[in-house]
């Protein structure tokens, strides 16, 4: 699975935000479980702010979003979160949105 591609960005995010290493360990522990949906939900959640960080650091190509979402009146972060929330494969989609 392409989740490995997201680890470098997750590490950078945790370092720049001075996040506790426990956040990284939580993600790793969730990945190790058989239900990978748990860690996907954690990574793309608004509470974790990873998607906001990606948008703020110009790492997301908004043109790759669905046109109905890309052209909406919501801010950039909300548009990305909306696209991920309706996806069956949010991590793969997030990776596809990266520049």
Q: For the segment 41-52, what is each residue's pLDDT rounded down to a tens digit? A: 878 888 888 999
Query: Which of 50, 45, 66 is closest to 9 using CA atoms?
Result: 50
Residue 55 has pLDDT above 90, yes or no: yes
Q: What's phi and psi for 60, nearest 5 deg?
A: -115, 135
**pLDDT at residue 84, rounded to an integer:** 93
Residue 1 has pLDDT above 50, yes or no: no
What is the mean pLDDT of the segment spanning 79-89?
91
Cα distance between residue 89 and residue 72, in whole Å: 22
Query: Which of 54, 53, 37, 51 is closest to 1 using CA atoms?
Result: 37
Q: What is the pTM of this model?
A: 0.76
Number of domains in the chain: 1
Range of the structural domain that residue 49 is part of = 4-97
């Amino acid at each position: 699975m392409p989740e490995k591609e997201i680890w470098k960005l997750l590490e950078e995010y945790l370092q720049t935000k001075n996040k506790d290493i426990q956040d990284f360990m939580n993600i790793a522990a969730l990945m190790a479980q058989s239900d990978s949906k748990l860690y996907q939900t954690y990574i793309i959640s608004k509470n974790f702010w990873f998607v906001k960080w990606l948008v703020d650091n110009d790492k997301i190509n908004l043109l790759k979003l669905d046109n109905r979402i890309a052209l909406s009146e919501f801010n950039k972060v909300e548009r990305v979160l909306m696209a991920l929330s309706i996806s069956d494969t949010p991590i793969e989609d997030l990776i596809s949105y990266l520049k």
